[in-house]
Structure 1
Amino acid sequence: MKLNVGGIDRVVRIAAGLGLVAWAAMGGPVWAWIGVVPLATGAIGWCPPYAIFGFNTCSVKKQG
């Protein structure tokens, strides 16, 4: 599994995910639990839709 979620993208996903999960835990709407998805993808650095569509926000230095 190759990383495809980069720095700023990861921070935004983790922040949004934590915000949604916290809102759901404090009695917010049930749909706010969807925050688990961006939280997980930000934490592991890999996003399945990015892999399917060929997106990559992870900056990798090329050798050579």
Structure 2
Amino acid sequence: MPTYSSSSVSEHQSQTLWVKDLSKSCYQDDQQLKLRCLQAEVDSLLEQLQNLKEQRQAATAQEE
């Protein structure tokens, strides 16, 4: 399983801004809505992944 660093989060935030700018200019309203829904899902999954990583790190720290 890949690990995600703070730079990955920063890159994701940059991609989020890029998607917002792109959606303003290139897509019709229904496509913009789908894109925003997918972006929200990506944000949610990234947050879940970060929470799992923190839980694993805490569990590892307790074992030591």
TM-score bracket, normalised by the shorter chain, equals 0.3 to 0.5
Say which one has the larger Rg.
2
What is the TM-score normalised by the length of structure 2? 0.41
Higher helix content, 1 or 2: 2
Q: Relative contact order, CA 8 A, sep 6+: which one is greater?
A: 1
TM-score by length of 1: 0.41
